[in-house]
Chains A and B, each alone.
Chain A
């Protein structure tokens, strides 16, 4: 969902910026005194500034209410399954890699050697969450598996020449299925 929002929001705002630049370019061959342009420009700028602050403030207020740092992002948080994850050049080691739809999992992620990126891809190869796998630290990633299929763990932090080989499958079975 956030990927789609990011994409269309970018297209929309870049389109608006293009319009502004195209308008000014189109008018650039005309000549008018600068003083009245400045006067009007500064007035418009006040509203433009307030508008930007409102958009950014609203975006921050909404987006900061659901941070991925807390277990409430995983549904049924009281039944969390804890899975220990260790990354090392160039593989992932998980204490459990088979789950059932509806399972809420707390991945406790660390690294044995260098920094890796623990990225979880759903069966459609879309990222549903990630966290850094860093030596000496344990970061937690909360995931609720919502559909059955083969999920993948990909390394998302460059960790040397076998970086692209760090792929691990996770199987999520349907409820009541085998």
Chain B
């Protein structure tokens, strides 16, 4: 790879990580504010609560995706040439989209959440005016365009390097009897994300365009159930792909630290092919309480949601345990975060699978059980991977060293995150609904406990962020920069 492009890629990744770390802390503070209000520690208006909720959801999912793309880009560019201009294009689209979304929320009171269900935005437009709703929807569209640019470019590069997306997913090894290992894990995971997320974003864009048309001309209407299918196809796939991008760091870094290569053998490749298929299929577990959906689709939603747990439990997490076992690994910030992130991912899959059981969903859907499970694998999974990568980036591209603060910060982050998600899951057990600005008195104990945990999580995240920014100043100051293999 030419050094100029690598430096430019690193610059883009550093910018993305800087934005990610700051936004993460801000969104955590938004989450804490909601918990404090639900716990009646502070008192904000319901409108402000729902605006913060919209910001928190959109911001967290957006920033997890940006952090995930940064990880994917960094490691994939070790194997194939990636033009940094594309990465910067996505950053630019993202920033424009974010500004529009912020104006929509705080300038025009848009508060319909990031997984708004058609025709909610047009009803909000009648209440608060069309401008806010349209700004939010067009902002989301622009964000989507940025990611599509990245994914289409990655698709083109993977096709050029490996001869097709199927080949990048190891179809030669799986179906055509080719001996040996498949492409590097970074390429396999990238191919999966390109396929799944492109479909997801196009589904989401369709739902957004439907809402835009309906706002501009309310006489043109669409089927709300079809729109809901599109919305959850997008939401589910987009959220899942954040972890499938971020896990590339786990494959690469644990292999490096243990000196045990994480090769893409046949089982690994089959697992990623099933992950691709299941991720596209199982969004119907979000519609289990829509009885108008054909019953067979809902039953498949349950069965394939169960099956979707297998690739991570049997291949990725198990592989991480195997590679670390008796490896004399050096535990530092990066390796600790990546190891613990695998725990977060698998632990989060358990309540997620349970919630995908139709009879359970019947009494737990849209309770706090739902944020309980997705905060487990987002907060202790994806976000832990992103924080771990921030340290790894500074250490590899600069000279950052671990200090005592880091250990305590990691301990604090995970212990209190267990407390936070425990409070959410317990709230789900006692039937506390999600997304309620005002809670009944019997529910506030779980909110207050969650808020207390969130305070410590935020302190840990601030330490991570400050340490990242300090470490960033060392990037590029290595005496001997690492050399990379590659590529056309």
Contacts and interface: CB of A to CB of B under 8 A. Distances in A.
Interface residues of B, number: 78
Contact of B429 (A6, A130, A162, A163): A6
A86 interface: no
Contacts of B367: 127, 156
Interface string B329-350: 1010000000110110011001
Contact of A2 (B112, B225, B290, B359): B359
B290 A67 contact: no
Interface in A21-55: 21, 24-25, 27-32, 34, 37-38, 41, 45, 48-49, 52-53
Interface of B: 46-47, 50, 111-113, 117, 119-120, 123-124, 127, 223-225, 228, 260, 289-292, 295, 298-299, 302-303, 306-307, 309-310, 313-314, 318, 321-329, 331, 339-340, 342-343, 346-347, 350-351, 353-355, 357-360, 362-367, 369, 425-426, 428-431, 433, 435-438, 440, 442
Given A4-B429, A69-B295, A126-B430, A139 B117 contact: no
A115 to B, nearest CB: 4
A10 B352 CA distance: 9
7 contacts: A2-B360, A52-B314, A127-B364, A129-B363, A130-B365, A138-B292, A162-B46
Interface string A75-116: 000000000000001000000000000000000000001110
Pairs of residues from A and B, 3 with the lowest C-beta to C-beta distance, nearest first? A31-B328, A32-B326, A156-B366
Nearest to B369: A6
B433 to A, nearest CB: 5
A74 interface: no
B166 to A, nearest CB: 25
B46 to A, nearest CB: 5
Contact of A13 (B324, B350, B360): B350
A157 B232 CA distance: 14
A136 B224 contact: yes
Contact of A7 (B339, B342, B425): B425
Given A136-B224, A156-B433, A37 B325 contact: yes
A49 B362 contact: no
A164 B358 contact: no
Interface in A125-146: 125-132, 134-140
Interface residues of A, number: 73
B260 A134 contact: no
Contact of A28 (B260, B295, B329): B329
Contact of A56 (B291, B306, B318, B343): B306
Nearest to A7: B429
B113 A67 contact: no
A119 B366 CA distance: 10
Contact of A31 (B298, B327, B433, B442): B327
Contacts of A53: 310
A138 B290 CA distance: 9
Contacts of A161: 46-47, 50, 111, 437
A68 B359 contact: yes
B46 A59 contact: no
A134 B289 CA distance: 11
A161 B291 CA distance: 26
A155 B435 CA distance: 10
B223 to A, nearest CB: 7
Nearest to A10: B351
A134 B224 contact: yes
A24 B325 contact: yes
Contacts of B225: 134, 136-137
Contacts of A32: 326
A177 to B, nearest CB: 26
Contacts of A37: 322, 325-326
